[in-house]
Amino acid sequence: MPQRVALVSCVKSKLAAPTAAKDLYTSALFRGMRAYAEIVADAWYILSAEHGLLDPERTTAPYERTLNRMPAAERAAWAGTVKKRLEGVLPIGADVVMLAGERYREHLIPFLKARGHRVEIPLEGLPLGRQLRELNRLTRSND
């Protein structure tokens, strides 16, 4: 059975002091994505607008950067950095669970598929409230 790796996007709400990246982001959406990632994946990473690909255990200071306000060229450069890191951490043939919005996915999905990874996007197309309900449902059904 292939290994599963989850990629979880960062969010705006953060603690005020440096802490492990997995604890830095405080929104209900991030907590839900983290809980789901921890249940369904063998490993998970955070897609950070500031730091690229973050190990959840890495101590990280709060920041105010988002891909949602970045110009297209800057998002492409960010994705290039993330791709290099993914090449080093994704096992060959791993399935990838993408828990991130369109701006975080746009350059990564084609890259992952070209590398032969099967990509799941369980929250694709859902508005925020529905994402939270779907994460709760998915988390309960996978417990």
Quick: pLDDT tens for 56-114.
999 999 999 999 889 999 999 999 999 999 999 999 999 999 999 999 999 999 999 99
Q: Which residue has the higher pLDDT, 128 or 72?
A: 72
Of all residues in the chain, the percent with pLDDT exceeding 70 is 98
Question: Can you give the pLDDT at residue 68?
Answer: 86
Question: Can you give the pLDDT at residue 1?
Answer: 53
* E-state strands within 1-143: 4-9, 19-20, 43-48, 52-54, 59-60, 95-99, 119-120
Q: What is the pTM of this model?
A: 0.95
Cβ atoms of 53 and 14 closer than 8 Å = no
> What one-character DSSP code corresponds to residue 91?
P
> Hey, what domains does the chain have and what are their CATH numbers?
4-134 (3.40.50)
